[in-house]
């Protein structure tokens, strides 16, 4: 089955961020195709490279980065939600005159159209939220 | 046949998208960001319907005034939905009544449906986004 995943909550604050990655891993392990993972609302915080969780805890962003590398996943962070919450890529950082950028490796920033496209192209859109 | 300048549209069948709004307009950002999804989605010419239920019915309540909380009142945007061909707006009857509201209290024309009718409508959908 061709699946897409929508992640609506930030890491550590909500179980849904963990559930989303565990579901994605399980779906890939069962041989399903994951067309796209889209991050919206506070879910965009899953894509920051500036988070430094304690060493004895899981690192959700790093898990996504590794999973994306391993399976060539398309991890898309919503630009409007990201700008509100301070998640920037290099281009946007320059454009806004900021002194750094923090989008994590394996993630890209794009528009909400990518979510709608995922809904159109996938057999199922599976949503993780509060 | 699509003209070359229409190439930016996504290929694929028209699907039934339903956006379910269940939360109060202020207090969290879900209602506002849900509306942003609906407005972007309108460009994709899908079969779109919106549902307002639970505290989500307050999103389309008339005469919202947010001055005292310093948050933008975005409720007039719901009136613009018609211009985007988003015309199927459903409100769950039970949610409306239990909050002492009627359709006269709402800023947009809606179809009031009972809970079990809503379940049938949901059954027909291909993509349901709940906010």
Q: Which residues of A touch B130 (CB under 8 A)?
A: 127, 129
The pTM of this model reads 0.93
Q: Starting at the edge strand that comes first in sequence, how are the strands of the sheet with B111-113 ordered?
A: B111-113, B88-92, B47-52, B16-21, B127-130
- Least confident interval from A78-82, B18-22, B80-84, B112-116: B80-84
Does position B1 have pLDDT exceeding 90, yes or no? no
- The CATH number of residue B51's host domain is 3.40.1260.10
Q: Which domain holds residue A44?
A: 2-128
Closest chain B residue by Cα to residue A120: B15
Considering the domain boundaries, does residue B9 fall inside one? Answer: no
pLDDT of residue B10: 59
Phi/psi region, residue A90 (left: phi>0; alpha: psi -120 to 50; beta: rest), is: alpha
pLDDT of residue B2: 47
Choosing from A75, A77, A78, A109, which is the catalytic residue?
A78
The predicted complex's ipTM stands at 0.90
Size of interface A-B (CB pairs under 8 A): 50
Per-residue pLDDT reduced to its tens digit, B52-75: 999 999 999 999 999 999 999 999
Total structural domains within chain A: 1
Per-residue pLDDT reduced to its tens digit, A21-76: 999 999 999 999 999 999 999 999 999 999 999 999 999 999 999 999 999 999 99
Considering the domain boundaries, does residue B114 fall inside one? Answer: yes
Which site among A2, A116, A118 would you substitute to test the B interface, given the most B Cβ atoms closer than 10 Å to its Cβ?
Answer: A116
Considering the domain boundaries, does residue B3 fall inside one? Answer: no
């Amino acid at each position: 089955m061709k699946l897409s995943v929508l992640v609506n909550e930030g890491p550590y604050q909500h179980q849904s961020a963990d559930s989303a990655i565990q579901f994605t891993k399980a779906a890939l392990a069962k041989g399903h195709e994951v067309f796209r993972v889209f991050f919206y609302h506070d879910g965009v915080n899953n894509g920051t490279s500036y988070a430094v969780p304690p060493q004895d805890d899981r690192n959700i962003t790093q898990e996504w980065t590794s999973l994306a590398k391993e399976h060539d996943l398309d991890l898309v962070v919503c630009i409007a939600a990201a700008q509100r919450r301070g998640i920037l890529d290099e281009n946007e950082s320059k454009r806004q005159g900021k002194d750094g950028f923090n989008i994590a490796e394996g993630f890209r920033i794009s528009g909400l159209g990518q979510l709608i496209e995922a809904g159109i192209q996938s057999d199922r859109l599976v949503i993780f939220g509060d | 046949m699509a003209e070359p300048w229409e190439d930016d549209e996504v290929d694929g069948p028209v699907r039934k998208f339903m956006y379910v709004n269940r939360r109060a307009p202020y207090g969290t950002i879900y209602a506002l960001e849900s509306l942003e999804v609906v407005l972007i989605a309108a460009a994709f010419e899908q079969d779109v319907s919106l549902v307002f239920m639970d505290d989500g019915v307050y999103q389309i309540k008339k005469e919202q005034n947010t001055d005292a909380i310093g948050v933008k009142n975005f409720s007039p945007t719901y009136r613009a939905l018609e211009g985007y061909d988003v015309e199927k707006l459903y409100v769950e009857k039970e949610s409306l009544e239990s909050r002492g509201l009627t359709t006269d209290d709402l800023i947009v024309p809606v179809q009031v449906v009972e809970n079990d009718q809503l379940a049938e409508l949901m059954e027909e959908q291909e993509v349901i986004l709940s906010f």
